[in-house]
Amino acid sequence: MKDSRRRWLAMAGVGALAAAAGYGVHLWWADGQADVPNAAAVEALLTAPLKDLEGGSKAIESWRGKVLVINFWATWCVPCRKEIPEFVKMQESHGVRGLQFVGIAFDQPQPVRDFARELGINYPLLMGGLDTMALMRESGNKAGVLPFTLVLDRKGKVARTHRGVLTEAALEGIVRALL
Amino acid sequence: MRLILVLLFGVACIAHGAEADLLEPDKAFRFSARLKDARSIEVTYDIAPGYYLYRQQFKFSAAPAEAKLGPPQLPPGKMKKDEFFGEVETYRGNLTILVPLEVAEPKPSVVTLAAVSQGCADAGVCYVPHEQKARLQLAAGGTATGAPPEPFPAPERARAGADDARFASVFAEGFWVTIAKFFGAGLILAFTPCVLPMVPILSGVIVGGGGHVTKMRGFLLAALYVLGMALTYAVAGVAAGLSGAMLAAALQNPWVLGAFAAVFVALALAMFGLYELQLPVALQSSLANASNRMRGGQAAGVFAMGVLSALIVGPCVAAPLAGALLYISLSRDVVLGGSALFAMALGMGVPLLAVGASAGALVPRAGPWMETVKRFFGVLLLGLAIYIVSPLVPTAVHMGAWAVLLIVTAVFMRAIDPLPPNTHAFDRFSKGIGVIALVVGIAFAIGALSGGRDFLQPLAGLRAGAGFPQAGETPFQRVGSIAELEGRIATAGKPVMLDFYADWCVSCKEMERFTFTDERVRQRLGALVLLQADVTANSPEHIALLKRFRLFGPPGIVFFDAAGREIEGLRVIGFQPAHKFAAVLDEVLRFQRTASQ
């Protein structure tokens, strides 16, 4: 009896050690491999003229000096649409403190206009093209997934990148330190 | 005890966690295209589990302008309710789309298809519209034939089923699919000659330790052995992959091989009962007092044997190993690469676990049966020792050694003793096998003495006087550095085959002996410039050459077209039999024809 218990203990120990080692390797690796945004690409993204929904052209840098939340999305992307109502709410509540959302859609202008009206989007929406897509990939999103959100501080430096849906609570935590 | 395995798989899972699981779009939506007939292109998407594509979002275009596409025939998808768009149709799993094709005069020889697709992952992200390209070859004369699909828009590349590329591409799938495939590969490898000899070693260690062997204990020891083997693979694979070192070279140098052969001979002699394998008496008596500690000692020994065994199996696992190493060094995804190698070794260990678990049943413990089984294992071990040193010795010595082993075995099987009239059927059978061994052994003996060099035709040297051609010699030009190689390729004017070779490389010798000598292969080789890099010395130039081609050491064969570009996807890693190699050469020549059109 005693013998088999010792055996189990030994095995559990080996397992725990292996798990710890594996996790360590993972951390070390994930660290070295992170999808790091390229500063030059982010700068190019800020200065590139993009079409707005009225047919004019505007660059994101017009909002420089604010805490910028740049959200890449599309109407056909179901998860993207989930987070937008929360963005609208936060723009409403934090706008005066210098928080500025900018949406960049990879889409046709018409569905974007319809969607913006339906949800009452209260922040500027710009249309992304192929070159915008390339810059987005270089800005910390190599796989090119949507939604992708880039949070910049008031100096225009990347504070956080996030692939996938961002909850209000998470975003709140990120921008609180920057405002 | 089975929990160990579950646990270790679990570890790999933990280590692989979280966001990293999002696949690159090319891997989430694996694209390929081929010409179905002269007037339609068949496009297929292999969609990873948990991912889907939108039916409405496909766009196809073709270049050059002579190729016109009709409306694609999209199969009905699965309806999905969307609160904004209403109903949308999506595809999961395998998707095949037919795209009509019309080619106007002048007919181009190559049509490039560009496909844009849009899809999402259940994990809660979508991908931006993604373009993938395929290069389709139209046959001359108007009728079209399918060409291998080309996933990247690189017109100078071809794709075929090279072993390392195939194994490397396995990684493109999900984590568990990859693990499962490598486990399966391991199961298959378990039945190659390299792994089978481990059965007697293992059962020798388990039974030979003496004492009472329960099924549980047998299984535990076997599991330890397999774990030792698997961990060695994972660790060595990752280390080698990261450093790009010549793993095979390290494992196959003459001293290591010689030492293993010696170990096997020693084990074999023990099997024949020449002596008992056991611990020194002093140690044994001190251990006898604490039986628990002796168990521990044996367990450690078994584990260590497993570690050593991993090294022996090297030659058998060249292709999957090279694939995994290639993947690790390119992607630097150590966790997946290491886990895959670990899973492969576990697969190889399954039969060994069965042997261990059946400690009482498969390996009889007493009686004359046991003696027979032990002797059989002894012969196997000696055979393995010969096999291991075969790359180091001249063919004649190799053949002679087999002759000695076979003939002596035959004599012990009473091949030349008369059988008494009322002999048991088993003894008659045994004598039959013995006679066969005797005949083959004598053939080898004559072959070795008469200069035969082919194990399949040991007596060929005796045939019709001196008519036997120097079949073993293939007219290679030697290259020793990258500069030399580039010079040779630039002046070749023909497609080039570069063969990496080393004296210690078993599969290189097999290629020379069995494949390059084949008539079909020789004919095709005539159309190529043959270069060989002998990297036995492993000088800095040699290492640079290997690195240049992302190889970890020989064996490796790389092809170039007449313009000096590597024809990727056609690499041959490891031994390939003549008919397969001839098919690869056909592919090279076909590629050259279309490239020069």
* Whether A15 and B57 lie within 8 Å, measured CB to CB: no
Residue of B nearest to A75 (CA): B84
Find the closest chain B residue to A106 by CA distance.
Answer: B128
Instruction: Check residue B185 and give its pLDDT.
Output: 78
Contact check, Cβ <8 Å, A106/B123 = no
Higher pLDDT, B496 or B590: B496
- Does B210 lie at the interface with A, CB-CB under 8 angstroms? no
Give B404 or B566, the one with higher predicted confidence: B404
Cα B112 from chain centroid?
Answer: 33
Probe site for chain A from B126, B298, B333 (most A CB atoms < 10 A): B126
pLDDT band at B290 (very low <50, low <70, confident <90, very high): very low
What is the C-alpha to C-alpha distance for residues A74 and B130, in angstroms, rounded to an integer? 14
Residue A160: in which H helix or E strand, if any?
strand A158-163
- Specify the pLDDT at position B63: 84
CB–CB of B128 and A133 under 8 A? yes
Comparing alpha-carbon positions, the chain B residue that sits nearest to A80 is B125
- Mean pLDDT is lowest, of A112-116, A159-163, B19-23, for B19-23
pLDDT of residue B501: 83
Per-residue pLDDT tens over the stretch B383-421: 877 877 776 677 778 888 999 999 988 888 878 888 777
Distances in whole angstroms, Cα of residue B386 to Cα of each of B265, B383, B502: 9, 5, 19
Say if A170 is an interface residue toward chain B (CB within 8 Å): no
Strand order in the sheet with B40-47: B29-37, B40-47, B94-103, B67-69
The pLDDT of residue B321 is: 66
How confident is residue B359, by pLDDT bands cut at 50, 70 and 90? low
Q: What 3-state DSSP class applies to A161?
A: strand
Residue of B nearest to A2 (CA): B292
Query: What tokens were used for B389?
Result: 């040193």
Contact B22 A23 (CB under 8 A): no
First CA to last CA across chain B, in angstroms?
Answer: 63
Q: Do B14 and A19 touch (CB under 8 A)?
A: yes
pLDDT tops 70 at residue B217: yes
DSSP B123-186: TTEEE--EEEEEEEEPPTTS---------SS-TT------HHHHHHHHTTS-HHHHHHHHHHHH
| pLDDT at position A23 | 53
Please check whether residue B47 is in contact with residue B174, taking contact to mean a CB–CB distance below 8 angstroms. Answer: no
At B60 the pLDDT is 92
DSSP character string of B29-53: EEEEEEEEETTEEEEEEEEPTTEEE
Residues B307/B228, Cβ–Cβ less than 8 Å: yes
- Tell me which residue in B85, B120, B334 faces A29 most closely, judged by beta carbons: B334
Report chain A residues whose CB lies below 8 A from the CB of B22: 143, 145, 163
Quick check: A102 pLDDT over 90?
yes
B309 CA to centre of own chain: 17
B502-531 average pLDDT score:
80
Q: Please say if the pLDDT value at position B591 is more than 50.
A: yes
Predicted TM-score (pTM) of this structure: 0.40
Over range B491-519, report the average pLDDT: 79
**pLDDT in the model for residue B23:** 81
> Would an 8 Å CB–CB cutoff place A145 in contact with chain B?
yes
Q: Which residue has the higher pLDDT, B305 or B590?
A: B590
pLDDT digits (tens, 9 = 90+) for B158-203: 333 344 444 555 555 567 877 887 888 778 777 655 565 566 666 6
Q: Does the distance separating the beta carbons of A76 and B14 come in below 8 Å? A: no
Report the SS3 class of residue A163: strand
Q: How far is A34 from chain B (nearest CA, A)?
A: 9
Query: Which pLDDT band, with edges at 50, 70 and 90, does B333 fall under?
Result: low
**A111 close to A121: Cβ distance less than 8 angstroms:** no
pLDDT confidence bin for B312, thresholds 50/70/90: low
Please name the residues between 442 and 471 in chain B that touch chain A, using a CB distance below 8 Å: none
Q: Using CB atoms, which residue from B18, B24, B124 is nearest to A143?
A: B24
Lowest mean pLDDT among A28-37, B53-62, B486-495: A28-37
Residues in chain A closer than 8 A to B24 (CB atoms): 142-143
Interface contact flag, A22 B14, Cβ < 8 Å: yes
Report yes or no: B21 at the A interface, CB cutoff 8 Å: no
What pLDDT is attached to residue A32? Answer: 38
Residue B341 pLDDT more than 90?
no
Write down the pLDDT at residue B469: 44
Contact A85/B at CB under 8 A? no
Q: What is the pLDDT of residues A57-67, one digit of tens each?
A: 999 999 999 99
Spell out which residues of chain B touch residue A133, defining contact as CB-CB under 8 Å. 128
How near does any CA of chain A get to the CA of B7, in Å?
A: 6
Contacts of A111 in chain B (CB under 8 A): 84
> Which residue of A lies nearest to B7 if distances are taken between CA atoms?
A15
Where does residue B243 rank: exposed (0-12), middle (13-18), buried (19+ CB within 10 A)? exposed
Instruction: State the average pLDDT over residues B13-40.
Output: 70
> Average pLDDT, stretch A79-106?
93
pLDDT above 50 (res B291)? no
B50 interface with A at CB cutoff 8 Å: no
pLDDT score recorded for residue B279: 41
Taking CB atoms and an 8 Å cutoff, what residues of chain A touch B18?
Answer: 30
Burial of B439 (0-12, 13-18, 19+ CB in 10 A): middle
Q: Kindly identify which residue of chain A lies nearest to residue B5, measuring between CA atoms.
A: A15
Q: What is the pLDDT of residue B297?
A: 53
Considering only CB atoms, A78 lies closest to which of B8, B82, B130, namely B82
Is the pLDDT higher at B274 or at A103? Answer: A103
Peptide bond into B320 cis (omega under 30): no
Mean pLDDT value of segment B43-65: 88
Residue B36 above 60 pLDDT?
Answer: yes
Choice among B198-207, B215-224, B230-239, B313-322 with the minimum mean pLDDT:
B313-322
B587-595: average pLDDT: 76
pLDDT at B318: 54
State both tokens at B367: 């009686």
Secondary structure class of A166 (helix, strand, coil): coil
Question: What is A74-128 written as a DSSP string?
Answer: -TT-HHHHHHHHHHHHHHHHHGGGTEEEEEEE-S-HHHHHHHHHHHT--S-EEE-
Q: Which residues of B touch A142 (CB under 8 A)?
A: 24
pLDDT (tens digit, 9 = 90+) per residue, B135-144? 888 764 333 3
Rounded to two decimals, the ipTM of the complex is 0.77
More confident residue, B527 or B551: B527
Q: What is the mean pLDDT of chain B?
A: 72
Quick one: average pLDDT of B375-387? Answer: 77
Q: Which strands make up the sheet holding B110-117, listed edge to edge?
A: B59-63, B110-117, B130-137
Instruction: Kindly tell me if the per-residue pLDDT of B507 is higher than 90.
Output: no
CA angle B139, B143, B149 (to 5 degrees): 50
Shortest CB distance from A23 goes to which of B15, B24, B54? B15
B368 against A29, higher pLDDT: B368
- Among A57-61, B241-245, B298-302, B557-561, the range scoring the smallest mean pLDDT is B241-245
A53 touches chain B (CB under 8 A): no
Mean of pLDDT values over B281-290? 44
Distance CA B392, CA B386 (A): 10
Percent of chain B residues past pLDDT 90, beyond the cut: 4
Mean pLDDT of B214-230: 79
Q: A115, B84: Cβ pair inside 8 Å?
A: yes
* pLDDT for residue B468: 41
